[in-house]
A and B are shown apart, each in its own frame.
Chain A
């Protein structure tokens, strides 16, 4: 108990609290800029954190990481431009809400969901780190393959009417995802000798191009009166600008489910917050009582991806703190900051010197509180900033988005790709092809291919290939869960078909 109090007193000192608030504020500013990811925000701050004591530098980094994740949803909701890839699923329902004048409501829901998901995963980290890390370690390429294949199959028809256009869009995304070096043999694929393509097409240019730039080109067709009017219009009804308790309560099951999904996915190295957000969105739509509202401005559709992508941030630290294994780039950066500041993590840290770990737990919780308070400020600032005339906003989105896309890899080719993808996105939207399934295919394809081919390579070393996958308990459990879901969906559809039609006058 003394050790816990000692640890918490480190993270609750006034220097530490100021550092957390500053970190969250900086993260929220950077996260709102398209192209600057949470990992990049952390990487940018790391050199500065070394000038401070560990209990100023580390809380600042953690605060920045959390702040940037939430802030990326504000631009996703208001101008269809996700600040980070993790917020791309939030576009699906956040942007329609904003177009209905309910942008403030959507941003507040995103804020509550972000803090909820963050806190949920932090609590899991504090109480179940070792257990979750053990479960995560049972997941290998076979489990990843079946999980991602299931996600691709279920998400292919997202926001698509007719469904074939969504599936074709997803297959185009999958094809673009194969460009670059082959993940197993490292031979060039579809690069045609262009060295810029060897690393593959960047996710940031894809997201910014297909979501933001295509929307700018589309909005340019508005009437001149609309273009000179306010960029974002807010409803004057108070209920359209806040989230009522009843609305929040109705989203609670989605929040719990999505946070749990985000936590489990975050604990598994390599999948990341973007995958978690799309999976949670698909699951929320599948289990919703009003699935028809998804894609048209559903609050659940905002809550699910936001809770999931923020839950990943805390869960990413589970393998890091329990075993010293970073789950993703951001966790690896945070680990490097820990090491340089002389903080040991891993199984021995819990028994030998747990005080820094308790201090980290305290800082994580405080960062969530700071995120909540500063988030309201950001929403107010966003309302003011996007009150400028629409044509000024549209033009500046192009410049800021191209700067953001250049920032990650320092490549002018990425800037050119942003506009090429913007053009393709514009054409796709005009002919009724949704762009989001394309992005899902692009994000999931490299993961699926790499894991599937690794499984086949591993299986080829066994006399009976099938024995390899079916001897894995986690694979069998996943297979059982997926079969159960498929059966439930089929049963529900059958029941709906057998139900008598309601009388016309009802």
Chain B
């Protein structure tokens, strides 16, 4: 399989997935998530569901047009072009990135409500540094302490912004 056809196949796959998501949004999420008030017709302006529906239809039209063009093999020059933000960091499985995301979500959903922002922040920093290959214990302990103290001083003391506390602290 050539690189060109592989790129086209990837793009077709992306378009199909996005079209399915768009269909779920239009047929499931909008009817369940938006309730138009009774007798809200065009004479009183547009109903609340108009904008999401319009966006979903526009997105579907755009993606279908693109899909047809790629399938007809007319526009592969664009499909195979490298995007602006692609570079060597975008190849392979992003283990460290995925690890960072899991740790960050754990911090915001579980850690902060339990130990509060400042201690949670220090633990997040420590975990992130470990994921990024830091092994010196001085850096692993001192740096999170310095940053957490700086955040506490700046937000809590200087700007009087109380960052969230947890059940424990």
Chain A contacts to B: CB under 8 angstroms: 30, 33, 36, 44, 159-165, 167-168, 171, 174-175, 178, 182, 184-185, 187-192, 213, 216-222, 224, 227-228, 295-296, 391-392, 394-396, 398-400, 402-403, 406-407, 410, 412, 415-416, 418-420, 422-423, 426, 429-432, 434, 445, 449, 452-454, 456-457, 460
Is B112 a contact of A399 with CB atoms below 8 Å?
no
With A164-B62, A399-B121 as known contacts, state yes or no: A415 contacts B112, CB within 8 Å. Answer: yes
* B residues less than 8 Å from A392 (CB atoms): 129, 139, 143
20 A–B contacts from the bound complex (CB under 8 Å): A30-B159, A161-B83, A168-B18, A178-B51, A188-B35, A190-B33, A190-B34, A218-B97, A224-B133, A227-B132, A391-B128, A391-B132, A392-B143, A395-B143, A419-B101, A422-B101, A426-B97, A434-B85, A453-B45, A456-B45
Contacts of B3 in A (CB 8 A): none
Known contacts A221-B89, A395-B132: A434-B84 contact under CB 8 Å: yes
Select which of A399, A449, A454 is within 8 A of B124 by beta carbon: A399
One digit per residue, 1 when the CB lies within 8 angstroms of any chain A CB and 0 when it does not, for chain B 69-93 equals 0000000001101111110011010
Q: A216 to chain B: which residues have CB within 8 Å?
A: 100
Q: Kindly state whether residue B4 has any CB partner on chain A within 8 Å.
A: no
The answer to whether A189 and B62 touch across the interface, beta carbons within 8 angstroms, is no
| Nearest chain B CB to A83 CB, angstrom units | 13
Chain A residue nearest to B63 (CB atoms) is: A168
Most chain B C-beta atoms within 10 Å of own C-beta, residue among A163, A429, A445: A429
Q: How many residues of B contact A (CB 8 A)?
A: 76
Whole-angstrom distance from the CB of A241 to the nearest CB of chain B?
Answer: 24
Say how far B118's CB is from chain A's closest CB, in angstroms.
9
From B79, B83, B90, B162, name the one whose CB has the most chain A CB atoms within 10 angstroms.
B83
Known: A391-B134, A403-B163, A419-B104. A221 touches B94 (CB 8 A): yes
Known contacts: A189-B33, A399-B147. The answer to whether A220 contacts B131 by CB under 8 A is yes
Q: How far is the CB of B141 from chain A (nearest CB, A)?
A: 13
Interchain nearest-CB distance for A114 vs B (Å): 23
Q: B44 in the interface, Cβ–Cβ < 8 Å?
A: yes
Once the chains bind, are B121 and A403 in contact (CB under 8 Å)?
yes
Please, which residue of chain A has its CB at the minimum distance from the CB of B80?
Answer: A162
Question: With a CB–CB cut-off of 8 A, which chain A residues contact B134?
Answer: 228, 391
Contact of A423 among B14, B101, B139 (CB under 8 A): B101
Q: How far is it, in angstroms, between the C-alpha of A107 and the C-alpha of B118 when the chains are bound?
A: 32
Give every chain B residue within 8 A of A391 (Cβ-Cβ).
128-129, 132-134
How many A-B pairs with Cβ below 8 Å? 200
A189 touches B159 (CB 8 A): no
Q: Is the CB of B37 within 8 A of A187?
A: yes
Please indicate the chain B residues that have their CB under 8 angstroms from the CB of A191 in the complex: 33
Contact flag A227-B133 (CB < 8 Å), given A221-B94, A392-B139: yes
- What is the CA–CA distance of A167 and B66 in the complex, to the nearest angstrom? 11
A220, B96: Cβ atoms closer than 8 Å: yes
Q: Which residue on A lies nearest to B17, using beta carbons?
A: A431
- State whether B29 touches A185 (Cβ < 8 A): no
Are B163 and A396 touching (Cβ within 8 A)?
Answer: no
CA distance A477 to B139 in the complex (A): 62
